A and B are shown apart, each in its own frame.
Chain A
Amino acid sequence: DAKTTQPNSMESNEEEPVHLPCNHSTISGTDYIHWYRQLPSQGPEYVIHGLTSNVNNRMASLAIAEDRKSSTLILHRATLRDAAVYYCLAGSGNTGKLIFGQGTTLQVKP
């Protein structure tokens, strides 16, 4: 699995967009990029994943750089409920083995 680097913390205002960056410069061609988040006192939850193309779902968008060495998770309108630790993971093989880094703690201000 590729090593990922994320900022330790970020702040956002409620109802504004949030861009969470992730660097994965050693990513291989078969590695998927996954994002999970962990709300306080809960287990992690899936957010989004992608391989090469940008992806959208009801929770967020994932923008992947053309060289795939970085990606950005986009929350279009942050809410207080989005305050969590966001983890970026990059790896191939089955997702039963997820290698988590330290993640980014997102604070959302009202």
Chain B
Amino acid sequence: KAGVTQTPRYLIKTRGQQVTLSCSPISGHRSVSWYQQTPGQGLQFLFEYFSETQRNKGNFPGRFSGRQFSNSRSEMNVSTLELGDSALYLCASGLGGETDTQYFGPGTRLTVL
């Protein structure tokens, strides 16, 4: 079974631009979550989508948004990029239950100049 895939793997943007990251979950998984990882803040939860609905949301500004499609693929968008948005963005998928294993992708490394 193919793992979680994220595209692109690396991205360089400038301040003020917007960016869209994509995540393809493991086949059959209906939950997709997004995380931001930085050296200073560690791994922080952004949001989770389950069956095309946002089910959980972390404490990030409204510039961070996401969506999930009917095939469970998900995208996250960051508008008006700031230098502090430079990070590794990780996507994870799962079945959506209480003890289900979360499977993480390799991440997208975003650099904002």
Let me know if B97 and A95 touch, CB within 8 A: yes
List chain A positions with a Cβ less than 8 A from chain B: 32, 36, 42-46, 49, 87, 92-103
Q: A46-B103, A98-B92 are in contact. List 8 more A-B contacts (CB 8 A).
A: A44-B90, A44-B102, A49-B99, A92-B98, A96-B31, A96-B50, A100-B43, A100-B44
B72 adjacent to chain A (CB < 8 Å): no
List chain B positions with a Cβ less than 8 A from chain A: 4, 31-33, 35, 42-45, 48, 50, 55-56, 58, 90, 92, 94, 96-107
The prevalent SS among residues of B at the interface is strand
Q: Given A44-B43, A46-B102, A96–B107 Cβ distance below 8 Å? A: no
Q: How far is the CB of A99 from chain B (nearest CB, A)?
A: 6
Q: Given A94-B97, A95-B98, A96-B56, A43–B92 Cβ distance below 8 Å? A: yes
